[in-house]
Structure 1
Amino acid sequence: MTAQDLKASTESTVEQLEHEGDVAADFLEELLDIADIDGDLTLDVRQGRAYVSIEAEGEGLSLLSAPDTVQALQELTRLAVQSSTGSFSRLILDIGGSRDTRRRQLEALVDAAVAKLDDGATQASLPSMSSYERKLVHDIVSERGLVSESYGEGADRHTVISRH
C-alpha cells in the first residue's frame, strides 16, 4: 500500500461525514428536547470535518454557548457519533455563533502576544487550549506573518509565537 493509498483510506468521505452530522444532529435534537430548548440545526462538511451548528432565539441557547460548555457538548456529541458509527469523530459543534466568538477571542490573544514581540520579547506563550483552538491560533499567526509552534502534552499543550 502506498502512502497515498494509506492517506485515502484514513480520510473520511463526504458521505461518511454527512452521516456523522446526521447522527450528531439526532443526538443534539434529543438533548435540546430534554433541556426544553428550541433550536435549528444546520449540517455541513468543512475542511474534512462534519460541522453542526445550532441556532435559536431566547435565553436557553445562550447558556449553552459558553466556550467550556460548547467544548463539553462537542465531546459528548463526538462520543455519541463514535458509539453509533464505530469510528473516531472530529466533528465541530457551533452553538449560537460560539466558534466565531471564540475566534475573535483567540485573535485578541494573538494580538496581545504580537504586542509583546513588538516590545522586544523573542517569543510569547499562549495559554493551554484544545487542538482545534491551537489550529485556529496557528492560522491566525500565519495570517499575521509570524511563526507558531505547539509545546507540551495533553491538557497542558499550548502555543508559542515568535517572529522566526
Structure 2
Amino acid sequence: MNQITQTAPTKEEAITVALEKLGVSRDDVSIKVVEAGKKGFLGFGTKPAVVEVTVLKKEQDVKAAREQEVVEEVAELEKTVVNDSVMDEEPTIKQTNEQAVEETKSYINVIAKEMNIDDLVINEKREGKFIHLHLNSEKAAMLIGKRGQTLNALENLSQLVANKYSNSFIIIKLDVGNYRERRQESLEQLAERMADKAIRTGSKVEFEPMSSFERKIIHNALSVRVDIETYSVGTDPNRYLVIEPIK
C-alpha cells in the first residue's frame, strides 16, 4: 500500500493513524489535507479532518513534497482566517494597535507550530502605520517558500488578523533573514538583464508568474527606461510581466 486516505477528528490524528497503517514515518510521506476539519460550537458544525498520505520513494520527491505541503497548509490557514474574518462578529470595543500587533504575533506563532517550527523568534519595528515583523528560525527556508510564496501568504494572514483587532488601519510587513531586500535586488538586476535582452533581440520578453508585489518592483526598476515598456498579462495567481521594446 503506497497511499491512504484517512479520516479522524483532527488533522494530526488522521496523519498519525495513516502513518501507523502504512508503517512509515512522517519523513517518508507527502501529506495532502483534503479537509482541515472544524471543531464546531456546542457540538454543532463539527467536521472531521481528511488527509491523503502518499509514501515517497526518492529524496527529491520528499523535498518537493515538503515544500508543497507547507504551501498548502498556509493556503488552508489563509482561507480559514478569511472565512473567520467574514463570519465572526466584530468586537464591541476595538483593541489598541499594540494589542492588535500582539494578537498578530501570537497567530504567526500558531501557524509556525502547524508547520513544525518551534524556534520562531519575532522582532518588531514600528514606523507609523507600518509594523515590520522580522521572523527568525533555523527553518527560515520553510517560512519563505518557493519564490517567497509562503512568506507572502503569511503576510496576507497577518494583515487580516491585525486589522481585525486594531483601532485604526495598520500595515503588516513580514521578512525572514532580509529576504525581501535580497529578493528586490535580485529582481532589479533580472529586470535590467531582461530589458537589455528585449532590446538586443527586438522581441518581447515574458517573465514567469509573480505576485503583484514582485511585478511592481520590476515595473518601478524599469520605469526610467524609454526604450522599453512593461505590462502585466493574465490573472492571479498566474499573472506575469512582459517587457516589450519600443520600435
**TM, length-normalised to structure 2:** 0.47
The answer to whether structure 1 residue 99 and structure 2 residue 188 are counterparts is no
The answer to whether structure 1 residue 129 and structure 2 residue 210 are counterparts is yes
Q: Which structure has more helix as a fraction of its residues?
A: 1
Report deviation, 1:85.
Answer: 4.6
Residues 115-124 or 88-97, more deviating: 88-97
Give the CA RMSD over aligned residues.
3.5
Residues 106-115 or 123-132, more deviating: 106-115
Residue deviations 1:47-77, cap 9 Å, x none? xx63423153x52334323312212211222
Structure 1 gap segments, 5+ residues each: 1-15
Q: What is the aligned counterpart of 1:141 among 188, 198, 222? A: 222
Partner of 1:53: 133
Report deviation, 1:156.
Answer: 2.4
Partner of 1:64: 143
What SS is found at the alignment partner of 1:156? coil
Partner of 1:10: none
Partner of 1:81: 162
Residue 110 and residue 63 in structure 1: after superposition, are their counterparts in 2 closer, same or farther (change >3 A)? same
| Percent identity over paired residues | 23
Please identify runs of 4+ aligned residues in structure 1 that moved more than 6 A.
16-20, 86-89
Report deviation, 1:94.
Answer: 1.1
Partner of 2:199: 118
With a CA cutoff of 8 Å and minimum separation of 6, indicate the structure with the bigger relative contact order.
1
Say how many residue pairs are matched: 146
CA contact (8 A) 2:131 2:170 kept: no
What SS is found at the alignment partner of 1:94? strand
Give the 5 Å matches for 1:142-161.
Answer: 142-143=223-224, 146-161=228-243
